[in-house]
Chain A
Amino acid sequence: MSALAYALSDTMVLAKRSLLRIPRAPDLLLSFTVQPIMFVLLFVYVFGGAIDTPGYEDYTDFLMPGIVAQTMSFGGFVTALGLAEDLKKGLIDRFRSLPMSRSAVLAGRTLADVATNTISLAIMIAVGLIVGFRFSSSPFEVVAGIGLMLLFGYAFSWVFAYFGLTASSGESAQAIGFIVIFPITFISSAFVPVDSMPSWLQAIAENNPFTTVVDAMRALWVGAPAGNDIWGAVLWSLGLTAVFAPLSVARYRRAVSA
C-alpha cells in the first residue's frame, strides 16, 4: 500500500474509534443533540417576539441559518476534548510511537466531527421545521447550504484541534473555545439584524467572517440576496482549514503526553 492509502486507513481506524465512544459516553451525545434543540426553542420563543427582522417572513426564518452556523462552529469541541484527554491519558504518546500517519489522529477526529455535525444539523433542521421554519430556495441550494455548514464545521474542528493540543486540559480547551468563538458568533448577523446594533459594533459585525457565513446560509436557505457571501464563506472555511490543519499537525508532532 502507498503512504497515502495507509494514511487514509489510519484516519478511518481513528475516526471509527472517535465515533464508537459517542454512544458510550452519553454526556457528549447530549451536547450535540439536546443542546441545539434547546437553543432553537429558546431563541424562537424567548427572543423571537422581541427582535424585528424586516424582509423575513418571521424570526424563525431569520434565526435558523444563524443558529445552525453557530452550532456547527462549536461541533469541533468534541475534538478538543478528545485530544486533550488523549494527551492526558498518554494515548498521544502511544500513537506517536506507532508507525502510523502523523496526521491520522487529528484527521480521524475531525472526520468524526463531520458525522456528529451531520446529526446535529439534521436534528436542528427537523426542530426548525416543527417550529415553523420554511426553506424558500431550490433543493439544490438547500443541499449546498448543508454542504457549506459541514465544511464550515470541519474548519472549526481544526481550530478546536489546535486548542485541544495547546490547552492544559479538556475543560480549559473547551473554555478557550467558548471564550474565543462565542463572542464572534454573537457579534454578527446570526441572531439580530446588524443595523439594530450600536454603530461601532455594526462595523465589527459587518466585517466579521461569521456574518459572511450566516448571510451565505440565508441566501442558500431562505433566498436572501447573496452578493459574494457564498464564495466568501467557502473561502473562509478553506482558509481556516488551511491555517489550522498544518498548525495542529505541527503541534501534534511535538506533543508529549503529560
Chain B
Amino acid sequence: MQDAAIQAEGLRKSYGNVEALVGIDLEAPAGTILGLLGPNGAGKTTAVRILTTLLPPDGGAARVAGLDVVRDAARLRARIGLAGQYAAVDENLTGRENLEMVGRLYHMGRAASRERADELLERFDLTDAGQRLVRTYSGGMRRRLDLSAALVARPPVLFLDEPTTGLDPRSRIGLWETIEDRVAAGTTVLLTTQYLDEADRLADRIAVIDHGRVIAEGTSDELKERVGGERLEVTLDDPRHAEIAISALAPMVDDRPTCDGTNLHLPIRRGRGAIAEAVRRLDTAGVGIDDIAVHRPTLDDVFLALTGHTAEEAAEDGRPPDAEPREERAAA
C-alpha cells in the first residue's frame, strides 16, 4: 500500500526504566480505521503521543499523512486532529468559545472559526449547550466537544485515545456513528480502546497490544480465526438422539464434535446459513431440538488465547479506566 496514512516501524519508547513501547509496527491505509486494542498500561497512549508529535520516539520511525512525525512535525500538526484520553476542553470557556479558539489556533481566521464552531456544535447536538460554560457539561457532552475540537480543521488523519471510556451506552453509540461518518468521508482514524466490542464494531484492522508490543494484527475476523473458527451449539430435546444428530450434521462439521448431555458443540467451517442448514438436516433425520445457535469467538477469546489473560483482567491490574489522570510527567 503506497499511501498508508499512518505507518510506524519499530517504535520504541521508555520512561526511565519503564519500557512503554518495545518496537511496534502499525499501518493504516487512507480512509480506514485502525484499532489499537490493549489493556491499561499496554502503551496505547504512548503510541498516540508519538504519532501526534507530542513525544519523540527513542527508536523507530513513523509517517502520518506522508510526513515524518519527528522531522516534519510542524507541518504534520496542520493535518491531524487529536482527542486525547481525557476530554481536553477549557472548563471556563463555553463550548463555542472552545471550538473557536481551536479554529483560530489552526489559523482558520475569525469568521471561518466561528462558522465551523457553529457547524460542529449542531452536528454534535450541542447547539443549546454551546453558550454555556463547559464546567456545566456532563461527561458525555465534554467528550463530544472534545471530539468536535479534534475535527475543527477537517484533518485527514484523526487520533482518538479511548474516545468512549467512561461514556454511557447511548453516548457511546452516538460517538461510534460520528466516527463512522468521518471515515465514510475519507478520514483515516487511529483509535485506541480497551473495549473489544468497540474495536470489533469500528476497526477495519486491529492491532492487539500488550506490554508495549503488537501481539497480533489483522481484521477482527482474522483474529477470531486464530482462536479457532465458529461453533454450532445445538441443544437436543432428547439426549439419546445425540448419535443421530452428529451423523446428520457430519457434512457440515470441521473437527471433532463434543457432547455433554443434551448439548452438542460442533466446530464448523462457515457460519453463514449454518443454522438453516443444520435445522433442515436435523429435521430430515427426525431429531427434535430445543435451541440452536452459532457461537462466534469474541475478541475476549482472542485476547485470552494470545496472552493467557482476558483484557479486563489485565485492566484490573492497572488503574481503573476512568481513574484520575496520572501526575507523573515525561521529561523526554
A14 / chain B contacts, CB cutoff of 8 Å: 101, 105
Chain A interface SS verdict (over half): helix
Tell me, in angstroms, the Cα distance from A130 to B78 when the chains sit together: 54
A98 to B78, CA, bound (A): 7
- Of A49-57, A60-68, A84-92, A193-201, the segment with at least 4 beta carbons within 8 Å of chain B is A84-92
Q: How many positions in chain A have a CB within 8 Å of any CB in the partner chain? A: 32
Most buried by B among A13, A93, A168: A93
User: Known contacts being A9-B104, A98-B106, A99-B78, is A91 close to B330, with CB within 8 Å?
Assistant: no
A17→B90 contact, CB < 8 A: yes
A99 touches B107 (CB 8 A): yes
Q: Which of chain A's residues have a CB closer than 8 A to the CB of B52? A: 97
Residues of B within 8 A of A129 (CB): none
Chain A hits for B326, CB < 8 A: 258
B77 with A90: CB separation less than 8 A: no
The range of chain B's interface size is 35 or more
How far does the alpha carbon of A13 sit from the alpha carbon of B101 in the complex, in Å?
7
* Given known A17-B90, A21-B93, A88-B325, contact A95–B105 (CB-CB < 8 A): yes
* Interface positions of A from 93 to 149, Cβ below 8 Å from B: 93-100, 104
Please tell me which one of the listed residues B78, B82, B105 contacts residue A13 in the complex, with CB atoms under 8 A apart. Answer: B105
B193: Cβ under 8 A from any A Cβ: no
Is B93 touching A98 in the complex (CB atoms < 8 A)? no
Instruction: Provide the residues of chain B in CB contact with A258, threshold 8 Å.
Output: 325-329
Contact of A169 with B327 in the complex, beta carbons under 8 Å: yes
In the assembled complex, the Cα of A257 lies from the Cα of B83 at a distance in Å of 13
Measured CB to CB, the closest approach of chain A to B56, in angstroms, equals 9
Asked if A20 is at the interface (CB within 8 A of a chain B CB), the reply is yes
Residue of A with least CB distance to B78: A99
- B195 close to A (CB within 8 Å): no
CB-CB < 8 A to B331: which residues of A? 254
Q: How close is A70's CB to chain B, nearest CB, in angstroms? A: 28
